[in-house]
Amino acid sequence: MARVCEICGKQAQIGNSVETRGKAKYLGGVGTKITGITRRKFKPNLQRIRVAQPDGTNKRMWICTQCIRSGAIRKAVAVKPFEV
């Protein structure tokens, strides 16, 4: 299963990992140099949480943290088993 947010569709993106060496000019050095560039993946921060469905049932889903924080979903509430 691909790691994709089930609400917004966010998934892994591909970018570069840039390796540098040297000291920056503003710190008194001669400047930084790029010594290597390799491909890498930027993975979304997905959490598997229980989501309350509109029909009253609960379902486990992979949701990105931005959807959780923005209120795009409603978390399932854990109910106490009994009350004294």
pLDDT of the residue at 83: 76
Count Cβ atoms within 10 A of the Cβ of residue 67 and give its class: 0-12 exposed, 13-18 middle, 19 or more buried.
Answer: buried
Residues 6 and 61: beta-carbon distance below 8 Å: yes
Residues 11 and 45: beta-carbon distance below 8 Å: no
- Global pTM exceeds 0.85: no
pLDDT of the residue at 77: 86
One CATH from 3.30.310, 1.20.58, 2.30.170, 1.20.1250 for 13-70: 2.30.170
Cα torsion through 43, 51, 66, 12, rounded to 10? 20
User: Which tens digit of pLDDT belongs to each residue from 56-83?
Assistant: 899 999 999 999 999 999 999 887 777 7
User: Which tens digit of pLDDT belongs to each residue from 4-48?
Assistant: 999 999 999 999 999 999 999 999 999 999 999 999 999 999 999
